[in-house]
Amino acid sequence: MKKTNFIIYLLFLVGILTSCEKDITVDLPQTEQKLVVEGSIEQGQPPLIILTKTIGYFEPADVNTLEKLFVHNAEVTVSNGSLSKQLIEICTNDIPDSLIPLIAVLSGVNVNQLAAINYCVYTTFDQSIWGEIGKTYNLTIKADGKILTSTTTIPNLIPLDSIWYKNQGTYDTMGYVWAKLYDPPGKGNAYRMFTQRRGKDARMIPIIGSVFDDKFIDGKYFDFYSIRGSEFNSAAPDDDGEQRGYYKITDTIDVKFCNIDPSSFLFWRTYETEIYNNGNPFASPTTTMTNIKGGGLGIWCGYGANYYTIIPQ
Amino acid sequence: MLKFSFALLFYDFFMKLFFVSFIFLFSSVCSPIFSQTKYTISGYVSDKTNGESAIGANVYLKEIMKGTATNQYGFFSLSVEPGSYTLVVSYLGYSDYTQKVELKSNLKLKIELTTSTIITDVFEVTDEKTDKNTQGTQMGTVQMEMKQIKEMPALFGEVDILKTIQLLPGIQSSGEGNAGFYVRGGGPDQNLILLDGAPVYNASHLFGFFSVFNSDAIKNVELIKGGMPAQYGGRLASVLDINMKEGNLKKMEVDGGIGIISSRLTIQGPIKKDTSSFILSGRRTYAGDLAQPFVKSTSRFKGSNYYFYDFNAKLNYTLSDKDRLFLSGYFGRDVFTFKNNRDGFIMRSPWGNATATARWNHLFSEKLFMNATAIFTDYNFVVELEQQDFEFKLFSGIRDYGGKLDFNYFPSILHNIKFGTHYTYHTFVPSNASAKSGDVEFDKGKIIKQYAHDLAIYLSDDYDFTEKLRFHAGLRYSLFQQVGPYDRYMKDEFENTTDTIYYQKGENVKTYPNLEPRFSVRYITGKTSSLKASFTQNYQYIHLASLSAVSLPTDIWVPSSAIVKPQFGTQYALGYFRNFKDNAFETSLEVYYKEMKNQIEYKEGALPESNMSDNVDNSFTFGKGWSYGAELFLKKATGKINGWIGYTLSWTERQFDAINKGNKFFAKYDRRHDLSFVGIYEINKKLTFATTFVYGTGNAITLPVARYTINGYLVSEYAERNSYRMASYHRLDFSLTLKGKETKKFKSNWNFSVYNVYHRYNPYFIYFSNEGNILDGTLKLRAKQVSLFGIIPSITWNFNF
């Protein structure tokens, strides 16, 4: 018996000695700054474009640097085939603070973030170019001597059949949001889902693995569950440890379930692979597949959105 | 451009030389046979103590200083004019065998060699005229003796053939935690690994920490990294030909070893003395199992485990003095289970190889030897995930049925002709998945299998043109045909299927016929020196596609198809070989240039699920590769202190139109400098000390250069592919083998080894971590390097009775 104990002790010794992780300094090459587009258009809502630039990986990350990344005075045009409108730039510094929550809802940007820095978006109050189901929207951006273009479509609405909350396993106060979906036959449908807990989340947050397409579910009638997403590096107590990913039975949950087009799907799918993997070598390569042409990065995405509210109790 | 035109020039020259010599060789074969009466000395060479046949033993006639080497089954044949000769047989680690022969008629011999009395001669027992280093036409070929491999330091004391060959120049490991090895800039899939003639598709256990070859069951290892002879094909970079022991023909024998993480046991012996024998060998790890009692029953990871095992068996029958039969098999599995009881998450992943071969040797005459082989090999990988109501299963694999007919013809002492035909029927399951949510079965599409015929015919000759000049010329015709049933999905720009083409069973989907010339020449420049050159062209019809930056068992094998063209490689090599001090020191310098076409990678942005319910080749993109370099080798073969130093300077590049904006990039295993040192010191008869040191330029990896924010999250923009180098890899190992008291019946030894003596954390991978938040100014971005092993001491007890 003593002998086996010894072997096991040795094993543990080996376990302690092996495997290490340490901080290293890497010398990254300088690179040209690129334009980054974060654009969306949803039915019944204005086009919203956030135009920023890339920054060296290890450059300081504070509010000042962040503000400097916004690209101002760009010529941003959206057209729907028959109509073309130039967007105006609105910055949070230029509008009364009382309007910020409204901008937060519209832009999907965290309300705290909007309040903290001079946040700018390109948009328009001209409703003739606001989103309509089934229409295709072309985006043209002229900035920094570059011309970026992109195209997206607001697909037809595909609503959920039903949506509910269910306690997970042995928990009696925590669980996931479940939904039933009937995917129409014919491939090419893709989905993206967000949730927002009233009073807790500052915006609609994409769920974990927020996009999926109908590659495996074409024409199927099925249930799926969603794990709650969180803000970037959130330090909130319910985003840490055991509570992470769960909704609470006491939450009131707003759900946004969208149909997106295939190129938007490809962007969000590779984007999520990238942000979850962070260079993990066991994972797939992390090239985020942009739909912006002309040397820019980012996404121009049309959403056919359905809204639901779940009150678990 | 200059490089390219040089290559063209070389190519043209070698092709002309090849065809001239080829025609010339075979016209010269016939003429001398009839010109004068010749008699043949033929026979088998084996080990006296256990009857194992001696592969590659030198057999020569002292008077005329000409000879041959035994083939894979220990057979040789020499046809010479009548007269009296002194026949000498010399072989690695054995005493020279000498016999006077009066040749008046054909002579059949059965030669049994005894182990060298001078124990220190663990390397080749050399004779001026028999040293293979300078005399053979073969370039870039290394034979390793198991005894030597067993004395070297080993990770966890687990002796490993694949790890040992990586200490040779031109062969690179990719560090810990990567399966496979890299030969002269070729990928891990470009090595043909044969176990008793059957290809092994994944030669590693535990993500590359151990090879599937149990050292107790292996007799002989030969590695060919350049100038591949025509009897081998189907891979671009190298051949690793491994032969299992045949089993002791004289007496029962038991070998075993007990180590920290695994144990082995081998039983072998005669079924009927001197005519038939068997060997059974098994190995299993228990590290994961041993840890089990210590995992608390309340732990959320209770039930997680890892182990591997393998099993070798072989039977050997001498049916008559003209016929021998060998049956051999291998079966091995890795099983990994991960449980997270809190989340109800279970992952179970078994994978492994199975091979079986039946071989029949037949002598048609003293000059014509035949071997017929039937082959089965299978590799498969499964991963099953279970969480909540979801079940997900992913599986991939490859299975071959095949046959070979190989002939060895010795018309005169000047020629050694080989010809034959190989056929394989492949079944590929590149990647298939099934998924279930509750009762709803998700559409994973049809299980897409791909079927292919793989046929080759070859002819080659080793010909002594003059005393100094020897040619090897070979030609291989290969034909690869993908056949139905097969569904080809046509894609639009968003990868949606727009149309499907259906192929019937056996219907031709795509056929590739190709000619592969092989040519090498040796010119003796002095008493113990020679110059060698070789030119080789190879086609490779199967490809290993890897989605991740490290090679894993999840990498899938795919066949050539209408989209995936066969890989095509051309290699030029030039070498100078010289031995010193009665061949006590062997040195060589080889330079090579290699071009590879139709190399395969996943498209940028390819996703793990892209493979499923689709033609896997739709996710690939294709490009070119180059590799060139120089290899220096210095070996001290004899004496109480022996060992070698190998150094390689090389460059390996790739170019894909659809990757890295079409710019050239370094392959991830591009290794500018690669150094290995092996030293063995026999302190006394009981105690042997061995040390190895390795140094290699860090792997080329892709790192982010810039970041941006989308949806509140940081996204990385990546630099040019593989433009960053990780820190270099270096490591020193020691081992001490202490022989226990030896009786006639029982032998044992203790092996103490220390891996990574100076506890260096060599990089395994680098990742970037971010913590905190931009808004409150707490965001911290850091680069982290992960290493696997620090210093690891281990102890193994080996026994034999």
* CA B29 – CA B462 distance, rounded (Å): 11
Give the pLDDT confidence of B44-55 residue by residue, as tens digits: 898 888 888 888
Inspect the interface and report whether the beta carbons of A270 and B605 lie closer than 8 Å: yes
Q: Strand, helix or coil at A106?
A: helix
Closest residue to B787, CB basis, from A20, A218, A288: A20
pLDDT interval class at A4 (50, 70, 90)? very low
Residue in chain B nearest A281 by alpha carbon? B549
Over pLDDT 70: what percentage of chain A? Answer: 90
Inspect the interface and report whether the beta carbons of A287 and B605 lie closer than 8 Å: yes
Query: What's the whole-number mean pLDDT along residues B100-124?
Result: 70
Picking from A295-304, B26-35, B412-421, B606-615, which range would have the lowest pLDDT averaged per residue?
B26-35
Q: Which residues of B619-640 are buried (b: 16+ CB within 10 A; e: fewer)?
A: bbbbbbbbbbbbbebbbbbbbe
Counting one residue from chain A and one from chain B, the pairs whose CB atoms sit within 8 A come to 238
* Bridge partner residues of A300 (DSSP): A39
For chain A, which residues make up each domain, given as ranges?
35-153, 162-287+303-310
The residue that leads in pLDDT, A233 or B127, is A233
For chain B, which residues make up each domain, given as ranges?
36-119, 141-800
What does pLDDT average to over chain A? 85
- Give the pLDDT confidence score for residue B665 in this predicted structure: 92
Q: Strand, helix or coil at B402?
A: strand
pLDDT interval class at A73 (50, 70, 90)? very high
Inspect the interface and report whether the beta carbons of A23 and B602 lie closer than 8 Å: no
- Give the pLDDT confidence score for residue A15 in this predicted structure: 45
Inspect the interface and report whether the beta carbons of B785 and A24 lie closer than 8 Å: yes
Residue in chain A nearest B602 by alpha carbon? A285
| Cβ(B399)–Cβ(B427) below 8 Å | yes
CATH number of A162-287+303-310: 2.60.40
Give A-chain residues touching B769 at CB under 8 angstroms: 278
Distances from the Cα of B142 to the Cα of A312, B72, B136, B795, angstroms: 71, 15, 12, 29
Residue in chain A nearest B434 by alpha carbon? A216
pLDDT over 70 at B646, yes or no: yes
Query: What's the whole-number mean pLDDT along residues B173-181?
Result: 71
pLDDT over 50 at B122, yes or no: no
* CA A279 – CA B714 distance, rounded (Å): 13
Query: What's the whole-number mean pLDDT along residues A183-192?
Result: 89
β-bridge pairing A253-260 and A190-197:
antiparallel
β-bridge pairing B556-559 and B567-580:
unpaired
- Give the pLDDT confidence score for residue B1 in this predicted structure: 41
Give B-chain residues touching A61 at CB under 8 angstroms: 774, 779, 781
Inspect the interface and report whether the beta carbons of A284 and B291 lie closer than 8 Å: no
The residue that leads in pLDDT, B747 or B550, is B747
Enter the tokens of residue B461: 């000759």
Taking the CA of residue B182 and the nearest CA in chain A, the distance in Å comes to 19
* CA B704 – CA B175 distance, rounded (Å): 23
- Give the pLDDT confidence score for residue A117 in this predicted structure: 80
Residue in chain B nearest A279 by alpha carbon? B767
Picking from B37-41, B153-157, B195-199, which range would have the lowest pLDDT averaged per residue?
B153-157
Check CB contact of B444 with chain A, cutoff 8 Å: yes
Taking the CA of residue A125 and the nearest CA in chain B, the distance in Å comes to 23
* CA A2 – CA A8 distance, rounded (Å): 10
Q: Which DSSP helix (H) or strand (E) runs through A270?
A: helix A262-277
Instruction: Assess whether the previous peptide bond of B485 is cis (omega < 30° from 0).
Output: yes
- Give the pLDDT confidence score for residue A287 in this predicted structure: 78
pLDDT over 80 at B303, yes or no: no
Inspect the interface and report whether the beta carbons of A282 and B552 lie closer than 8 Å: yes
Query: What's the whole-number mean pLDDT along residues B600-609?
Result: 74
Residue in chain B nearest A20 by alpha carbon? B787
pLDDT interval class at B12 (50, 70, 90)? low
The residue that leads in pLDDT, A149 or B227, is A149
What does pLDDT average to over chain B? 82
Check CB contact of A1 with chain B, cutoff 8 Å: no
Interface of B with A in 730-759 (CB under 8 A): 759
Query: What's the whole-number mean pLDDT along residues B188-192?
Result: 89
Cα-flanking dihedrals φ and ψ of residue B472, to 5°?
A: -125, 120
| Cβ(B514)–Cβ(B481) below 8 Å | no
Query: What's the whole-number mean pLDDT along residues B518-535?
Result: 89
Check CB contact of B791 with chain A, cutoff 8 Å: yes
Inspect the interface and report whether the beta carbons of A284 and B607 lie closer than 8 Å: yes
Give the pLDDT confidence of A27-68 residue by residue, as tens digits: 888 888 999 999 999 999 999 999 999 999 888 777 788 888
Residue in chain B nearest A4 by alpha carbon? B290
Inspect the interface and report whether the beta carbons of A282 and B548 lie closer than 8 Å: yes
pLDDT over 60 at B31, yes or no: no
Query: What's the whole-number mean pLDDT along residues B486-512?
Result: 80
* CA A217 – CA B162 distance, rounded (Å): 44
pLDDT interval class at A20 (50, 70, 90)? confident
Check CB contact of A166 with chain B, cutoff 8 Å: no
Give A-chain residues touching B785 at CB under 8 angstroms: 21-24
pLDDT over 60 at A285, yes or no: no
Residue in chain B nearest A31 by alpha carbon? B705
* A15 C-beta neighbours (distance < 10 Å), count: 11
Give the pLDDT confidence of B572-602 residue by residue, as tens digits: 999 998 888 777 888 899 999 999 999 988 8
Q: What is the fold, at CATH topology level, of the domain defined by A35-153?
A: Immunoglobulin-like (2.60.40)
Q: Strand, helix or coil at B5?
A: helix
**In chain A, how many H helices and how many E strands?**
5, 18
Q: Which of B65, B58, B61, B108 is nearest to B84 (CA)?
A: B61
Inspect the interface and report whether the beta carbons of B718 and A287 lie closer than 8 Å: yes
- Give the pLDDT confidence score for residue B137 in this predicted structure: 60
Closest residue to A23, CB basis, from B715, B727, B782: B782
Give the pLDDT confidence of A288-304 residue by residue, as tens digits: 889 999 999 999 999 99
pLDDT over 70 at B365, yes or no: yes
The residue that leads in pLDDT, A45 or B497, is A45
Inspect the interface and report whether the beta carbons of B443 and A217 lie closer than 8 Å: yes
Picking from B248-252, B489-493, B590-594, B695-699, which range would have the lowest pLDDT averaged per residue?
B489-493
Q: What is the ipTM of this complex?
A: 0.89
Distances from the Cα of A81 to the Cα of A5, A169, A293, B424, angstroms: 76, 51, 18, 58
- Give the pLDDT confidence score for residue A17 in this predicted structure: 43
Interface of A with B in 35-94 (CB under 8 A): 36, 38, 52-58, 61-63, 66, 69
Mutation target to probe the B interface, by most B beta carbons within 10 A, among A8, A59, A117, A233 is: A233
Interface of A with B in 232-271 (CB under 8 A): 232-233, 235, 242, 262-263, 266, 269-271
Residue in chain B nearest A221 by alpha carbon? B440
pLDDT over 60 at B748, yes or no: yes
Check CB contact of A169 with chain B, cutoff 8 Å: yes
Picking from A88-102, B22-36, B272-286, which range would have the lowest pLDDT averaged per residue?
B22-36
pLDDT over 90 at B327, yes or no: yes
Check CB contact of B260 with chain A, cutoff 8 Å: yes
Interface of A with B in 188-207 (CB under 8 A): 188, 206
- Give the pLDDT confidence score for residue B289 in this predicted structure: 60
Distances from the Cα of B326 to the Cα of B73, B244, B245, B247, angstroms: 10, 11, 11, 11
Q: What is the fold, at CATH topology level, of the domain defined by B36-119?
A: Immunoglobulin-like (2.60.40)
Inspect the interface and report whether the beta carbons of A7 and B443 lie closer than 8 Å: no
pLDDT over 80 at A194, yes or no: yes
Return the CATH superfamily for domain B141-800: TonB-dependent receptor, beta-barrel domain (2.40.170.20)
Inspect the interface and report whether the beta carbons of B786 and A222 lie closer than 8 Å: no
Picking from B82-96, B228-242, B609-623, which range would have the lowest pLDDT averaged per residue?
B609-623
* CA B682 – CA B688 distance, rounded (Å): 4
Question: Can you give the three-state secondary structure of B55-109, one letter per residue?
Answer: CCCEEEECCCCEEEECCCCCEEEEEECCEEEEEEEECCCECCEEEEEEECCCEEE
Query: What's the whole-number mean pLDDT along residues B769-778?
Result: 76
Cα-flanking dihedrals φ and ψ of residue A92, to 5°?
A: -60, -25
B469 Cα distance to chain centroid:
30
Check CB contact of B442 with chain A, cutoff 8 Å: yes
pLDDT over 70 at B609, yes or no: no
Which residue type occupies B208? G
Interface of B with A in 411-430 (CB under 8 A): none
* CA B270 – CA B1 distance, rounded (Å): 62
Residue in chain A nearest B439 by alpha carbon? A222
Query: What's the whole-number mean pLDDT along residues A84-90?
Result: 93
pLDDT interval class at B749 (50, 70, 90)? confident
Query: What's the whole-number mean pLDDT along residues A91-112?
Result: 76
Q: Please count the CA atoms within 13 angstroms of the CA of A58 that sit on its side-chain side.
A: 11
| Cβ(B54)–Cβ(B108) below 8 Å | no
Closest residue to A23, CB basis, from B438, B777, B784: B784
User: Which segment, A107-111, B280-284, B289-293, is predicted with the most confidence on average?
Assistant: B280-284
Give A-chain residues touching B440 at CB under 8 angstroms: 220-223
Check CB contact of B100 with chain A, cutoff 8 Å: no
pLDDT interval class at B493 (50, 70, 90)? low
Q: Strand, helix or coil at B581?
A: coil
Taking the CA of residue A280 and the nearest CA in chain B, the distance in Å comes to 6
Give B-chain residues touching A231 at CB under 8 angstroms: 712
Query: What's the whole-number mean pLDDT along residues B693-711?
Result: 89
- Give the pLDDT confidence score for residue B295 in this predicted structure: 55
Distances from the Cα of B334 to the Cα of B202, B274, B352, angstroms: 11, 37, 6
Check CB contact of B295 with chain A, cutoff 8 Å: no
Interface of A with B in 118-157 (CB under 8 A): none
The residue that leads in pLDDT, B5 or B269, is B269
Check CB contact of B439 with chain A, cutoff 8 Å: no
Q: Which of B713, B775, B772 is nearest to A231 (CA)?
A: B713
Check CB contact of B526 with chain A, cutoff 8 Å: no
- Give the pLDDT confidence score for residue A10 in this predicted structure: 40
* CA B162 – CA B181 distance, rounded (Å): 8
Enter the tokens of residue A245: 């990913």
The residue that leads in pLDDT, B12 or A174, is A174
Burial class, B8, CB count within 10 angstroms (exposed 0-12 / middle 13-18 / buried 19+): exposed
pLDDT interval class at A98 (50, 70, 90)? confident
Inspect the interface and report whether the beta carbons of B788 and A18 lie closer than 8 Å: yes
